[in-house]
């Protein structure tokens, strides 16, 4: 995890390389809210194991500590990244963007 308090922020309406997006179709969609989440890992447990969890319990996940995290938008994988801190809060640095067709396929599944 690294401190990104001085990192540039991407403003609304800018693409990752700083060009303004002038596409009319994009402008129609730009203000639709979406939910971004970051998945650290997962595991499968039996209900009995969940019921036995208590403060201090440790649940091992299916990822190595140095693996990139999945960045999801509305449940579709859009990128991979790493945790950073920004002014004392968690953030995520984008390391790898998913291919456009993969991102769109995730959205189409939910339509």
Question: Domain map of the chain by residue range?
Answer: 34-109
| The predicted structure's pLDDT at residue 93 | 96
Rounded average pLDDT over 7-29: 60
CA 49 → CA 54, 57, 76, 82, distances in Å?
10, 11, 29, 30
Per-residue confidence at 25, pLDDT binned at 50, 70, 90?
confident
Comparison of pLDDT for 22 and 16, the residue scoring more: 22
Architecture of domain 34-109: Roll (2.30)
Are the C-beta atoms of residues 69 and 62 closer than 8 Å to each other?
no
The token pair at 21 is: 């997006």
Rounded average pLDDT over 74-80: 92
Q: Which of 5, 9, 16 is nearest to 78 (CA)?
A: 16
Sign of the dihedral defined by the CA atoms of residues 13, 16, 19, 22, in that order: negative
Rounded average pLDDT over 34-60: 95
Q: Which of 94, 90, 42, 89 is nearest to 73 (CA)?
A: 94
Are the C-beta atoms of residues 61 and 40 closer than 8 Å to each other?
yes
Is the whole model's pTM more than 0.85, yes or no? Answer: no
Q: Strand pairing of 76-86 and 2-3?
A: parallel
């Amino acid at each position: 995890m690294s401190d990104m308090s001085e990192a540039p922020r991407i403003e609304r309406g800018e693409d990752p390389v700083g060009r303004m997006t002038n596409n009319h179709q994009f402008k129609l969609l730009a203000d639709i809210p979406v939910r971004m989440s970051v998945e650290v890992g997962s595991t499968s447990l039996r209900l009995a194991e969940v019921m036995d969890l208590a403060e201090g319990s440790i649940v091992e996940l299916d990822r190595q500590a140095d693996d990139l995290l999945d960045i999801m938008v509305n449940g579709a994988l859009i990128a991979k990244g790493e945790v950073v801190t920004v002014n004392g809060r968690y953030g995520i640095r984008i390391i790898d963007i998913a291919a456009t067709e993969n991102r769109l396929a995730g959205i189409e599944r939910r339509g």
